[in-house]
Structures are given as C-alpha cells and as structure tokens.
Structure 1
Amino acid sequence: MTSGFYVQPCEVYGNNKCDEVIGLDLNLSSMSCLPFPSLSTLENNSAVWEIPFIDETRNHKRVKLEDSANESIISTNYSLYSGSGTGSMYTSGFNSLSRIQFRDHISAYTRRYLAAEKMEEEASTLLGGEPEEEGSGDGMKLVQKLISCAEAVACRDKTHASALLSELRTNAQVFGTSFQRVASCFIQALTDRLALVQPLGAVGVTTKMIAVSSEKDEALHLVYEICPHIQFSHFVANTSILEAFEGESYVHVIDLGMTLGLLHGYQWLNLMESLASRTGQPLRRLRITGVGDSGERLEAIGNELKLYAQSMELDFGFLAVESNLENLKAEDFNLIDGEVLIINSILQLHCLVKESRGALNSVLQTLYDLSPKLMVLVEQDSSHNGPFFLGRFMEALHNYSAIFDSLDAMLPRYDTRRAKMEQFYFGEEIKNIVSCEGPARVERHERVDQWRRRMRRAGFQPAPLKMITQATKWLEMNASEGYTIVEDKGCFVLGWKSKPIIAVSCWRCF
C-alpha cells in the first residue's frame, strides 16, 4: 500500500470543527487547530482521505482520523499527479489546488502535526518538580486539559474552550501546587484571549493594553527583594561597569527604562557605594541619564540619587529623558566630549521586538551611533515570540512553570507575598504573551543566541564576561539552592535547575 498521510477534522473539539482552511496565512498568531487541523478546502462527503505522501524520504507518522460515521470510501488507486484512477478525487475539491500548492500545504500541516506531537511529549516534563504527595496524576490531567484548552482557543472554538476553562478553574488554585498556581495564570490569559478573538474568517485577535497598577508596583518590588533575577543582573552589570570605569575620570551612564519602573534607584545606589569604597584613581564626575515614560518618577529617583551622591561626596549629575525607546535621539542625552559612555539595558529591548523588527533595529543603530565604551544587555532567555500562538503558549508554560517552582523554595505556600508576585507580576507577563497580539504584545522574549545575532548585525562586538567566580559566590550568598549560573559564549545565564531564566551579556562598539 502506498505510504500515506491521513487527515481528519478537529473532532477532538466536538461538532464545532475548526474552520481554518489550508489557504490561510500560516503566520497567523491564531495557529490552526492542533494537533489535527481540518482541511476545509479538501472536504467533501468522504470521511477519510488518504493522501499519498510526497516525500518518501521523510519518516513522518500517520494520523488516521474518521468522522462520526466511520466511513471509508477512498481507495489508494489515485494519482495526484497523473490523474489516473476513477478521477473522483479531482471532482471533490483537489482540482482547485496546483501540485506545488498542494505540496506546500501538506508540508505545512505535517510540520504543525509534528509540533503538536512534540507538545504532547513535553507536557509530561512540566510536572517534574512536583512532589508525589501533591498528586502527579491529577497534575498530568491538569496539564493535558490546559493544552487542550489552548488548542481550542487557537481554533476559536468558544464553546469547547469555555467548557474546558470552566473545568480548569475548579482545579487551578492560587495557593495550590506550583503548577496549579501557574495554571491559574494561564487560565486567566486564555480567558482574556478567548474574549477578544474575532469571528472565524477574521485575521488575528483584538488587542488591549494592560494597565500599570499599584499592585504591579508592589509585586515588582517583591520580585526585586525575593527573587535573585533583577539583583543578579544589577550585580553583573555594575561589576562590568566598574571595570569599564577603571582609569576614567568622567563617566556618563544611560539607563534605558530606568530601573524597570522600581520606585528607587537600587542599581545606582549600589554603584555609588562601590565607587566610594574602591581604591585607586577616584572618579571625578558621574552622570546618569534615566530614560522612561514617567517624568515624575524619573525626577523622584534622580533626587534620591543626588542626595546619596552628596552623602558620598561624589560629584554627580542626573538627567531625566521622558520618552519611549523608539523615539530616542542622540541629542536627548546631552553628550559631553571627554566623557566615557556606558549604556545599561535591563529587561527593556524585548519590548521592541515586533513583527517587522524595524523598531528594534532603529533603536540599536541609534545606540551604536553614540559609541558607548560598554553596553550591558539583560534579557529573559526564553522563546515567547514565535509566529504561532500554540508554540508561544507551550514555551511560556515551560518557562513560568520553572519560575513558579523556584518560588516554592523561597516562600511558604500560603505566603501572600508569593501570590502577589505570581498574580500581579509574572501573571501579567503571562497574560501579555498569551492574550495579546500586535502592538499590545510587548513581552516578546527571545533566546540569547538571537540577541547575539541581532547585536552583531547592529555593529556591536561581544565583550565576554570573566567574573564567573564572583557571580557564583554572589549566587551562593543571595539565592536559594537550585539556582545555577552557566557561562554561555561569554554571557552569563541564570537559571532554575536546568531551565534558563535571565541572560546577561556585554557589548562594545570597537
């Protein structure tokens, strides 16, 4: 019998089959129904189609699916290219597709099926950190149901997705196991996305911006105090900056995003303290330019830094630039001849990674033209910006499952501080990744290798980090057991067990 690839409708979603057709743009964020997409343009009264596989050298698995009647009326005597056989296949819809188009469609859906198969295989790893007494069987059911719900949302099957969400809410608890807690955030994100999807046939989803709240400010402060992610970034960044300061008299630091929105300039207070205590040639003047959306907040941080610098008898100047990163210009920074320039970017540039890439490329070119002696880049080392919704969903589920698992090692289950961090900080990131599209989706995290390629294309050259001993010692003193540091081609990657979380790298122009 001819090797075949079998296709069926999305019967896993009940009678409401996914109506996404083969001709739909494959780059849509609302990915087609996985793992079993419906080929609407190929449908006729037949229940089962056997499509002779085009590339016999590939070892793809068969997926044989049947409709509710379990009919099978198609034989294997058809030839898609010669027209041999009875010819009824051509009268049932295939005549609308050219040979090349048909090859492309089968190849695309094969890739999607394999991606879905991988999703199912990886689902079992999500519960690896859950203790057995928490019920690994129930946890696995929760994982599978959550993935099924994401598939239904991707298909815009509101009826099935809503039913699954209702079931999921009874099992996902804010004070439950780490996976129950992370599932609660993803359930809310899927609920938001489902509420925003347009009717079938429309492209993409409606988007909304997530408002900044006092709860998020408090959650960010707790993340800074309790989790090592931001403090580790500050430590490596400041150590690198101090090395770049060595032998310099006048230094200017540009802080993109100004302390992530924290109400205090912790990173720069620590830097000033280090400057005051170090030996050798003293720094004659330090200037810091803070870039951010809130001029009032920038000025408050600037005043705090000025008072601290005065207590340290340090000549200090501060400039606030109220602007988003896309609108920055060289003249905004009031550069002075003879000053050494340092650029500091902590968890900021991923917000510019849009579909066109033009915004990020433009900003990187502007920064490169400033000729900094050093640029510190800190970003999440994760892949949350893939072209397909379900791929992003699974990547985010892996990443945040590790983060929530790490919180178990730091705080008791019923600690309200942990709930605030999970719901108002990490939960907001999850909602942005899962429920938003277009300009509203700003949490577009990418892998460290992608950032390397992007920085090199902009003209920057790597400045390898060499303080692994210091970084390891800092981690031992300031983080829970389970956190690790890995040196990756001159970058430092902070992770929880085997899962990378934060990547720190340094760059120079010459």
Structure 2
Amino acid sequence: MSQKNPSKSQQLLWVLNEVASAYGDCDQRLAYYFLQALFAKANNSGLQLYNTLKIVEEKNYCFDTYVKLMLKFQEVSPWTTFGHVASNGAILEALDGESNLHIIDLSNTLCTQWPMLLEALATRNDETPHLRLTLVVSTSLETIIIKEITKKMEKFARLMGVPFNFHVIGGLDHLEEIKKEDFSLQDDEAVVVNCIQALQRVRVEKRTDVIDMIRSIKPRVVTIVEEEVDLTSTRSDFGKCFEECLRFHRLYFEMLEESFHPISNERLKLERNRSRNIVNSLACDDGEIEEEYWRPDKASQWTKRLKEALCPFHFNDEILSDVQALLRRYNTSWSLALPQQEHEVGIHLKWRDETVVWASAWKPIAPSPQNPS
C-alpha cells in the first residue's frame, strides 16, 4: 500500500481477511481491526468508517455500563491507574497546606481519577480544603453523559465531606480552543492542570500554543500522562506509521488477552474502543477528523516540547512507593521504569519490559529578574 500498488494491496488484504476475526486469538483480532482500517484507506473511506464506528458507539453507550467496564479494566490492569496514582501524588504534594484548590482537568477519563484524590483530601491532617474541579469537555460522548458525571462527583464529594464545586466547559470542537479566561481563575486559589492523554488530542501545530496557555495559568503543577507511541513524526511515511501503530496495539491487545478471559465481553469492548484510534491513525488524513484527533508522541518528544515552557516536578519517594504498591496488585508482567539519564523526565509503566505509558509532572519556569513576564 505504501508502494501505491492498489491491485496487489487489495489482493493481499482479501487473503489476510480469511484469517481475521474479532473473536479469535490476539493475532486474529489485530488482523481484523487493522484490515478494517487498511480496507478503508485503500477505498478512501476512512472518515466514513470512523464516523460509522463513532455513531455505533454513541448509540450503544450506557454510562453505568461504561463505568463498570473501566472499573473492571482497572481491576485487571494498571494501564490507567498508573497515571492516576502518579498524578494524584504530585497534585497532593503541590497543594499541601492549601485551603482553596482548583483542579483544571483537560483529560478524557470521565473523572475516574478523582475519587481517590477526594478520599485523600478528606483524610488530610489539617482542615479539609475546598475543591473546585473544572472539567473541559471536547468530545460528543462526554457531552452526552456530563450530567451523570456531575451527579456522581457531587455525591461522592458529599460522602467524603469535601466542600466541592464542579464546573464544566463544553461546546469545543478542539481542545486548543480553550482560553485562560474560560477558567474564571481566582486570586486566592491554588491551581493545578491535569492532562491524562490530553495533549495527544491537540493538533501538532497547536501544541506549543496549548502548553503556553497552560503556563500562563501559573499552576502549582501540571500532570501529564501519555501512551508511549509515536504517531506524529511517522505520519509522512505510511509504512513506518503502520509499523508503529501495530507495535503499540499488539502490546495493548496482548495485555488484554492476558488480563481477560478469551470470550470476555469486556475485552471485546475495550478492543472495539481502540479500533477508532487505529482507523484515525491509518485511514484518515490529519484535517479530516473534527474531534477526537489522535496523534500521540513518545516521552522524549513530549519532554523536548514541554521543556520550552515548563520545568520538571520530580516524583518524590512517597509517590514512587505508591506506584510500586499499585503494581504489586497485578501480575509480574508489569514493572516501573525510572529515568536512566539526566535528560529524561517522568516514569514509565512497562509491560513485559516494553514501555507503554509515560507519567510526568511539571511546573512553570520561574521568570528571571531580567524577564519578569
């Protein structure tokens, strides 16, 4: 396909289609979803397929079912909770002793991160602080269920005895549309910005602008968690992009195969959720997707970009201990990787010695006396 030989491509795709199955082993499932994307690319129907998958997901969506799916996923795998524990630890350290807190959440995790943090705030030795949580919503699916998320969060905050205010910023086509003024910042509040798999949804040419906007908020800490896959610098070479996309999703699908029963409905749903990213990456042009843009980078690429506006906020020993305690709840395939060189920032979650998720924390660069801005 990268050699622009359509007849040969179609022939090979049909041969491979004979062994592909969404219900088979890991290789058969990978073949099924990747062939789906490759057929769409060959027929110039990537956007049509993407929109079809999106409509089907939204039509079949149920908030309670989705929450149960995420809880089950967290039970069998630290893929998401790794970033939650590391980020919450950095946030709690940065806000220690503050009484008026404001968390700006740019993530798409549907607030599954925050019950753990609310519980930690409720058990602080000093007076329980007031928490204002601002959630930025930039996908249609999040908009559909935002009322249910709001009720769940307010109910849990009352249960924990944490004074709580929940604010939602919606109506965005792209995350880069958000402005500092939208957050209604107050002088007496300590602000943090949380970005769990958020920056990968920002268009590449706008990422510096978004990071500069975050810096202008003057947060105590910025927490950033991203999956370790490069689908940005590989975009110009379809062969390399395909190889990198397959490498990463093979790890993800193998992890699901090890974590769930072969006929698990949860496993099937998680794999289907990933199918849109595969289509997005391989069958759609950068300008086609109006929302849910997905162009992840690796830690080294993020670090280089982030260091232009922010400096590292290193995870302390207590946070690292909490992350290691989390990983001990799972099988021995999981491990924690610490920075090995001076220029490296953050920590990695590894599965079978392959890095899959990167977690880091940052703070604004202190202005020099010559340049107080």
**TM-score category by the smaller chain?**
0.7 to 0.9
Is 1:317 paired with 2:171? Answer: no
How far off is 1:240 after superposition? 1.4
Cα deviation digits, residues 52-100 of structure 1 (max 9, x gap): xxxxxxxxxxxxxxxxxxxxxxxxxxxxxxxxxxxxxxxxxxxxxxxxx
Corresponding residue of 2:226: 379
CA distance in 2, matches of 1:434, 1:308: 40
CA distance in 1, matches of 2:113, 2:322: 17
Corresponding residue of 2:27: 179
How far off is 1:430 after superposition? 1.3
How far off is 1:492 after superposition? 1.4
Cα deviation digits, residues 99-142 of structure 1 (max 9, x gap): xxxxxxxxxxxxxxxxxxxxxxxxxxxxxxxxxxxxxxxxxxxx
How far off is 1:330 after superposition? 1.3
Q: Is this contact kept in 2: 1:220–1:421, CA < 8 A?
A: no
1:501 to 356, 359, 363: 356
Corresponding residue of 1:277: 123
Structure with higher RCO (Cα < 8 A, 6+ apart): 2
Q: How does 1:171-320 map to 2 (within 5 A)?
A: 171-196=19-44, 209-210=50-51, 211=54, 213-214=57-58, 215=60, 222=69, 225-226=72-73, 227-257=77-107, 259-260=108-109, 262=110, 265-278=111-124, 280-293=125-138, 294-295=142-143, 297-320=145-168
CA distance in 1, matches of 2:327, 2:220: 27
Is 1:367 paired with 2:214? Answer: yes
Gaps of 5+ in 1: 1-152, 198-204
Q: What amino acid sits opposite 1:166 in the alignment? A: W
Corresponding residue of 1:100: none
Q: Is this contact kept in 2: 1:410–1:480, CA < 8 A?
A: no
1:474 to 322, 326, 350: 326
SS of the aligned residue for 1:228 comes to: coil
CA distance in 2, matches of 1:165, 1:185: 12
TM-score w.r.t. the length of structure 2 is 0.85
Q: Is this contact kept in 1: 2:37–2:278, CA < 8 A?
A: yes
Q: Is this contact kept in 2: 1:207–1:436, CA < 8 A?
A: no
How far off is 1:353 after superposition? 3.7
1:465 to 304, 312, 315: 315
Is 1:449 paired with 2:304? Answer: no
Q: Is this contact kept in 2: 1:253–1:287, CA < 8 A?
A: yes
How far off is 1:221 after superposition? 5.8
From the superposition, tell whether residues 343 and 401 of structure 1 become closer, same or farther in structure 2 (CA, over 3 Å). Answer: same
Cα deviation digits, residues 350-389 of structure 1 (max 9, x gap): 12143xx2x1111111111000000000111111221211
From the superposition, tell whether residues 224 and 452 of structure 1 become closer, same or farther in structure 2 (CA, over 3 Å). Answer: farther
CA distance in 2, matches of 1:256, 1:490: 21
From the superposition, tell whether residues 182 and 224 of structure 1 become closer, same or farther in structure 2 (CA, over 3 Å). Answer: farther
Cα deviation digits, residues 29-70 of structure 1 (max 9, x gap): xxxxxxxxxxxxxxxxxxxxxxxxxxxxxxxxxxxxxxxxxx
1:400 to 249, 252, 260: 249
Q: Is this contact kept in 1: 2:349–2:357, CA < 8 A?
A: yes
How far off is 1:284 after superposition? 2.9
Aligned length: 340
Q: What amino acid sits opposite 1:371 in the alignment? A: K
Cα deviation digits, residues 319-352 of structure 1 (max 9, x gap): 1111342111111111111110000011111121
Q: Is this contact kept in 2: 1:381–1:501, CA < 8 A?
A: yes
Q: Is this contact kept in 1: 2:104–2:194, CA < 8 A?
A: yes
SS of the aligned residue for 2:231 comes to: coil
From the superposition, tell whether residues 219 and 431 of structure 1 become closer, same or farther in structure 2 (CA, over 3 Å). Answer: farther
RMSD of aligned Cα (Å): 2.2
Q: What amino acid sits opposite 2:283 in the alignment? A: S
How far off is 1:223 after superposition? 5.0
How far off is 1:179 after superposition? 1.9
Is 1:487 paired with 2:332? Answer: no
How far off is 1:318 after superposition? 1.3
Q: Is this contact kept in 2: 1:289–1:333, CA < 8 A?
A: yes
SS of the aligned residue for 1:439 comes to: coil
Identity of aligned residues (%): 24
Q: Is this contact kept in 2: 1:484–1:494, CA < 8 A?
A: yes
Q: Is this contact kept in 1: 2:121–2:129, CA < 8 A?
A: no
From the superposition, tell whether residues 266 and 365 of structure 1 become closer, same or farther in structure 2 (CA, over 3 Å). Answer: same
Q: What amino acid sits opposite 2:190 in the alignment? A: V
Cα deviation digits, residues 433-469 of structure 1 (max 9, x gap): 1111122362211110110011112x11111113322
Is 1:334 paired with 2:184? Answer: yes
Cα deviation digits, residues 135-159 of structure 1 (max 9, x gap): xxxxxxxxxxxxxxxxxx2233222
CA distance in 2, matches of 1:220, 1:380: 21
CA distance in 1, matches of 2:347, 2:212: 24
CA distance in 2, matches of 1:216, 1:455: 35
How far off is 1:224 after superposition? 5.3
From the superposition, tell whether residues 233 and 224 of structure 1 become closer, same or farther in structure 2 (CA, over 3 Å). Answer: farther
From the superposition, tell whether residues 207 and 360 of structure 1 become closer, same or farther in structure 2 (CA, over 3 Å). Answer: farther
How far off is 1:181 after superposition? 1.5
Q: Is this contact kept in 1: 2:17–2:35, CA < 8 A?
A: yes
From the superposition, tell whether residues 284 and 415 of structure 1 become closer, same or farther in structure 2 (CA, over 3 Å). Answer: closer
Cα deviation digits, residues 232-274 of structure 1 (max 9, x gap): 21111112111112111111000013x43x3xx3211221111
CA distance in 2, matches of 1:224, 1:156: 44
Corresponding residue of 2:370: none
Greater shift after overlay, 172-181 or 285-294?
172-181
Q: Is this contact kept in 1: 2:78–2:326, CA < 8 A?
A: no
Q: Looking at CA atoms only, which structure, 1 or 2, has the larger radius of gyration?
A: 1
Q: Is this contact kept in 1: 2:175–2:201, CA < 8 A?
A: no
